Chain A
Amino acid sequence: MRKGIFSVNGRREEWTYHDDDVLLDSIREAGHTEVHRGCKEGGCGCCAVLLEGVLVNSCQVFTASAEGRDITTVAGLGTIHDPHPLQQAFVETGAVQCGFCTPAMILSSYALLQKNPNPSDEEIRRGLDGNSCRCTGYVKIIEAVRLAAGRMAAHDE
């Protein structure tokens, strides 16, 4: 067993975890159940988080290797009382069906827009290529990212 400090959505937390635990299991155990377990093989992206601002599959990261790092989940972007423009856009375009892929999908979109505030449709697809969704057929997800990008750009001007 190990003990370590992690920063989740800007808050310092101390976790106890096993030497070979992966971040997905540890972060869920710590109560951040918005990080979803879809396959644990890097194949669906439902567990994606930002690690030091970089999008990763939390099932592919050993907890021990993330000690002391900043982790962002979708709850760190916005709340139901003060949603992030991406969260808002996903809601407005109908990009959320069952919602299981949504937190990670929004984080991927966020990571993309951080790097590329005005992505083409092709770039949106590339940025979200690791996140599977079985409900929407992605059409409205692409629309949501486009909508949010536009709004965020307008806001920044």
Chain B
Amino acid sequence: MTNERSLVGKSVKKIDSLALACGRGKYTADFSVENPLHLAFFYSPLAHGNILAIDDTPARAMDGVVDIFHSGNTRSGLFTTAGQGFPEPSPYDTRLFNSRVRYHGDIVGCVLAESVIQARAAAAAVKVEYEPLPPLFDPEQSGDPASPRLHDGEEYAPLPVPYRPEENVAGEVLFSFGDVEKGFAEADFIADETYRTHYANHCAMEPHCTTAFFDEKGRLVLYSSTQVPFHARRIVSQAAGIPLHRIRVIKPRIGGGFGGKQEVLLEPYAALAAWKWKRSVKAELDRSEVFTTGRTRHPFRVHMRTGVKKDGSITAIALDDLMNTGAYGAHALTVLSNAGSKVLPLFNKIPNVSFVGRAVYTTLPVGGAYRGYGATQGYFAFNQHMDGIARTLGVDFLDFVKSRHIQEGETSEVFKAIGEGTEGVSQIIRSCKLDECIDRGAEAIGWARLRGKRITSGPWVKGVGAAVTMQGSGIPKVDMASASMKMNDDGSFNLLVGATDIGTGSDTILSQIAGEALAVPLEKIIILSSDTDLTPFDVGAYASSTTYVSGQAVLRCALEVRSRILSVAASMLDVPEEDLTVEQGGRVLHEASGREVSYSRIACHSLYTRNQFQIQGSASFCGSESPAPFMAQFAEVDVDRETGKVRVVSFVSAGDCGQPVNPTLTEGQIEGAALSGIGYALTEEYLFDSRGRMTNNGFWDYKIPGILDLPVMKTIIVPSSEPSGPYGAKSISEIGINGPAPAIANAIYDAVGVRMRELPLTPEKVLRALQSKE
């Protein structure tokens, strides 16, 4: 095979995009099912309390009401809503209907009615009597004996992981190597800082939705806006008590996920109600419910201490993270782990390292998976902390990073130590072009021209800052993907994958990989993704796994099919298989004789002519490592000294994701992540009143960046080749959200000399910092 590639590395059009642009893409809410009932939830008005009594009699008498479910009439086992591998690394600490509410917005029950309006009206009419319990809002006080315990029943962790609800600890990660105290003793100075990050929401444009109906065999079919159809099927079965073989989950087009739909939120309720009444059921959250009852980015307190010698060598680093998981522990342990395992390996030459991470319960909204998954929070602290150390040493931040970051051929103790609910997996970095990312990004932002210059225009002062990050590509030895493929009469192929395209373009890039391996044009690959009846298993769209893990499964599957094609061709041409080559366009050539057969003839031969069988294949892949993509991101900001306003003028991302399978889609991932990260840095936040109620649960006051807020955005793909990846590819979807907050904060420091240690970087906070500096 030559290196000349026909599909991989080409910006082919996203295969579903024309349908979407013409309004033909169907999302979960768009399916019309026969005579559906509608679900509406009612929620806790308290941060913490016991449900004493539920009076649903008046509500049941209302027009159109079919049923009302709550803890008073519906028992369910403990489970986790986190859509992860089984058993999940998240604690089993919730039921469909808890008899105790643990945050303002906790689900108390739901009404099933003939229309949405009727369901909502009845939901508002259900009377619930509570015994108020003391709330717990401050994660720092979660361990205080005087604080309430939020989970003191039968809650447990299904995996042997640290879980101590008696201390409000939902997860814990302890790890060290070397001797940090000794390291600190050897240091000339110790940088000791605390950073804080905040609650944020994914804000996928499509709210969560599930549509349930019965097929002609009486099996329950769920269309769902999910990133994890197979986990959803399993968890629905578990939580709603429906045999798994009676459930089919179909993922239609999904209106964005970003981790928010890695949670199995609505599916069990829709399934429960449909199963009981044997009717179609629709459940759709409105935007305010997505904010309060959907999942969030876990807030962190990061305490970072680093011992440094005058010559610049780092003698020790100690990371002490306190993560607020909210009322339930969805993804608690794993997000916490990632805040260490995706951050600490970046500076892999530090001899003494310790990481103490604790995830604690509070009576606030529930954290969950969110693009970046802990790395975002960790890197906010890490990059500012290192920027500060570089400044103390009087060296340029970029040079400082370059001489310390992990390089090709190197490893880190952390890889082995910290996994996701299990031990980690040791690995050697086999592709890393971070230096080139730094150089090209610095050039694009004008680092040399701007850094430290404090160019001033009226009240505005300019600064430039950078952040460097790494992520992973799937969870090694955990995430598994599979694909199957069959060949049709005309030499086209059906490709069936469990991999879940939620708007990322994975259907397209997986088709590219298959088409590349089989030397056929893209239109000859007919892909179907994510239907638990039709497609093979895949863990789903998370952990930056799809390109690398699912891509590898597709590649293996395609190569298997290719070898079957060659063997049929060999018998047709009556030549040894080894003498045959696959040629572009779907032909098999016997070079010596110049004879060739087309795929179509091969397919027909095997379907109809002799030794009939269908040419097909299937393959699974589970990575034994998780190669890291790397990125350097740069922000040029203007800071208004009189108002504290920060304007991001220009933003550059330079990333190494191995071989980009589709450069346009790759850029799209980076650009979207970068702008989301800018919103996270500047304007997005959850505001709470004194009772723990979110006061800004709508786009009116939860401000995500719009098109007017877009800075000059430059994206540079620095290609490398990852030996373990499909055609050299690594992941790209998450990493780009990690750098904006620290890059902007570092730029603010560069401009006006204040260190912003608490997100978001609102004008008021910046102004206050400026004033207290004076």
Contact = CB atoms under 8 A, between A and B. Distances in A.
Interface of A: 31, 33-34, 36-41, 43-44, 46, 73-75, 78-80, 83, 86-88, 90-94, 96-103, 106, 125-126, 128-129, 131-142
B675 A138 contact: yes
Contact of B23 (A38, A44, A103, A134): A103
A106 B207 CA distance: 21
B14 interface: yes
B256 A94 contact: no
B1 interface: no
Given A74-B23, A75-B22, A91-B17, 13 more contacts: A34-B22, A37-B207, A44-B287, A94-B11, A94-B665, A94-B667, A97-B503, A100-B503, A132-B704, A132-B706, A134-B704, A137-B675, A138-B671
Interface string B237-270: 0000000000000000111101000000000000
Contacts of A96: 14, 16-17, 20-21
Contacts of A91: 13-14, 17-18, 21
A98 B504 CA distance: 7
Across the A-B interface, the 10 shortest Cβ-Cβ residue pairs: A98-B503, A34-B23, A43-B699, A99-B20, A100-B255, A137-B671, A33-B30, A137-B675, A94-B664, A96-B17
Nearest to B715: A139
B699 A132 contact: yes
A71 B207 CA distance: 25
Contacts, number: 184
Interface stretch (B2-10, B198-206, B562-570, B603-611): B198-206
B710 interface: yes
A83 B18 contact: yes
A36 B255 contact: yes
Contact of A43 (B13, B202, B676, B698): B698
A75 B23 contact: yes
A2 to B, nearest CB: 15
A98 B254 contact: yes
Contacts of B256: 97-98, 100, 134-135
Given A44-B205, A100-B206, A37 B20 contact: no
A39 B185 CA distance: 55
A98 B255 contact: yes
Contacts of B554: none
Interface string B381-413: 000000000000000000000000000000000
Contacts of B125: none
A100 B205 contact: yes
Contacts of A75: 22-24
Nearest to A43: B699
Given A44-B205, A134-B204, A134-B256, A99 B26 contact: no
Contacts of A137: 668, 671-676, 710, 713
Interface in B1-60: 11, 13-14, 16-27, 29-30, 32
B286 interface: yes
Contact of A90 (B21, B27, B708): B21
Contacts of B287: 38-41, 43-44
B contact face: mostly helix, strand, loop, or mixed: loop
B485 interface: no
A125 B29 contact: no
Given A94-B665, A98-B254, A128 B707 contact: yes
A110 B664 CA distance: 24
Count class of interface residues, chain B: 35 or more
Given A43-B698, A129-B708, A134 B21 contact: no
A33 B18 contact: no
5 contacts: A80-B19, A94-B664, A106-B21, A139-B715, A140-B671
A85 B139 CA distance: 53
Contact of B17 (A74, A99, A139): A99
B205 A98 contact: yes
Contacts of B710: 125, 137-139, 142
B322 interface: no
Contacts of A125: 707-708, 710
B505 interface: yes
A87 B205 contact: no
B543 interface: no
A135 B715 CA distance: 15
Nearest to A35: B23
B672 A135 contact: yes
B27 to A, nearest CB: 7
Nearest to B204: A134
A31 to B, nearest CB: 8
Interface in B164-217: 202-207
Interface centre among B23, B258, B503 (most CB of A within 10 A): B23
A57 B321 CA distance: 44
B207 A80 contact: no
Contacts of B258: 134
B704 to A, nearest CB: 6
Contacts of A31: 32
Given A38-B287, A98-B256, A99-B503, A138 B698 contact: no
